Structure 1
Amino acid sequence: MKPPPPWKGWSCCPENWVMSNTSCYFISSELNNWTESEKNCAGMGAHLLVINAEEEQLLILQILEREFAYYVGLSDPKGTCQWQWVDQSPYNRSITFWHPGEPNKHDERCVFINSRKGIWGWNDAFCVETQKSICEMMKTYL
């Protein structure tokens, strides 16, 4: 009898991480700039959050606190409006959640999620600002 495909077996996430269908998420309570936030995620075998679907955005919003902003893995390293995800997945303009009027400055090259008047969205920001962050990794299948 052959074993079931890996996605049908047991899966898990590290302790204190939130599990979804395919990923594990960690909400960092530390305030760091974007680069340090990505380094901290990498140190845990993860990367800053990459949002590829509306369902993922909606899932994440359920576990965030409205009074904080959270870095995600989207940046514009050269300030040319060429947005890139840290995992090299394509930036899809049809799956974006920018606040109205964002992105608005070429020298704001990093992105965080925040709530404005009760509505969550993406905001471009200076990469040196300190914010909380969201790390993501694939679930481990056993």
Structure 2
Amino acid sequence: MALEITYAEVTFKNESKSSGINSDSAAAPKEKTTPHESNHSFSKLLCTSLLIFLLLSAISFFTAFIKQVWSCCPKNWKPFSSNCYFISTESRSWNESEQNCSALEAHLMVINSKEKQDFITSQLRKQYAYYVGLSDLQGNSQWQWVDQTPYNKNVTFWHSGEPSNVEEHCVMLNIRSQRWGWNDVHCDGKQMWICEMMKIYL
């Protein structure tokens, strides 16, 4: 009889342990894997977002770097903003000056801001006058820039009293009373000139 009781107890205990292990083992993986999977997804999303951010930052940096560092002007041309300027050392008529600029894949200078006016006049020699790309070749007082930039009456640098002659259809930069300004002149007069072109980007 004692053997039967012992067997029954052993059997009961084994069944109890077995069922306890099964229920625990079924529940345990669920409790342990869910947070693990969630953390893994979050880490993956974070890494992906970080990589995209770094890639976009790198593209922006290299674009800015190329534009700033790898732009240049031809030899003897002066850089300013996004353009290059060539100041002649010989004199020609206005038409010849524009033809010379065209041969250099440029055009006579367009001045449409105070910054450009101040920059270029700081480079010029006071004893000379220089053709720029403004003219009234039609003779109807309609001033036009050679590159079709609109003529803005609010951004001009005429000397006092200029333009002064309806027979003078071209414009030059010269100095009066220690001040650089624009003066209308006859187009066949011989003056120095200034060419303008876009910077070269490599």
- Which of the five TM-score ranges fits, normalised by the shorter chain? over 0.9
TM-score normalised per structure 1: 0.96
2:138 matched residue in structure 1: 78
In structure 2, C-alpha distance between the alignment counterparts of 1:62 and 1:34, rounded to whole Å: 22
Deviation of the 1:81 alpha carbon: 1.0
Does residue 10 (structure 1) correspond to residue 70 (structure 2)? The answer is yes
In the alignment, the residues of structure 1 paired with residue 63 and residue 77 of structure 2 have an alpha-carbon distance, to the nearest angstrom, of 26
Percent identity over paired residues = 53
- Tell me which amino acid in the other structure corresponds to 1:99: H
Q: 1:99: which partner in 2? A: 159
Cα distance in 2 for partners of 1:117, 1:57 equals 17
1:62-141 map, 5 Å: 62-141=122-201
User: Structure 1 counterpart of 2:184, which letter?
Assistant: D
Give unpaired runs (5+ residues) of structure 2: 1-54
Secondary structure in structure 1 of the residue aligned to 2:86:
strand
CA RMSD of aligned residues (A): 1.2
How many residue pairs end up in the alignment? 142
User: Is the radius of gyration larger for structure 1 or structure 2?
Assistant: 2
Q: Which amino acid aligns with 1:4?
A: T
| 1:64-113 Cα deviation digits (max 9, x unpaired) | 00110000000001111100000001000000000000001111000000
- What is the alpha-carbon distance in structure 2 between the residues aligned to residue 113 and residue 29 of structure 1? 15
1:7 Cα shift?
Answer: 3.2
Q: Which is bigger in relative contact order (C-alpha 8 A, separation at least 6)?
A: 1
Residues 11-26 of structure 1 aligned to structure 2 (within 5 Å)? 11-26=71-86
More helix by share: 2
Question: How far apart, in 1, do the equivalents of 2:177 and 2:98 lie?
Answer: 28
Secondary structure at 2:182 match in 1: strand
Q: TM-score, normalised by structure 2?
A: 0.68
One-letter amino acid of the counterpart of residue 158, structure 2: W
Which consecutive unaligned segments of at least 5 residues does structure 1 have? none
Runs of 4+ in 1 over 2 A off after TM superposition: 5-9
Distance 2:112 2:177 in 1: 25
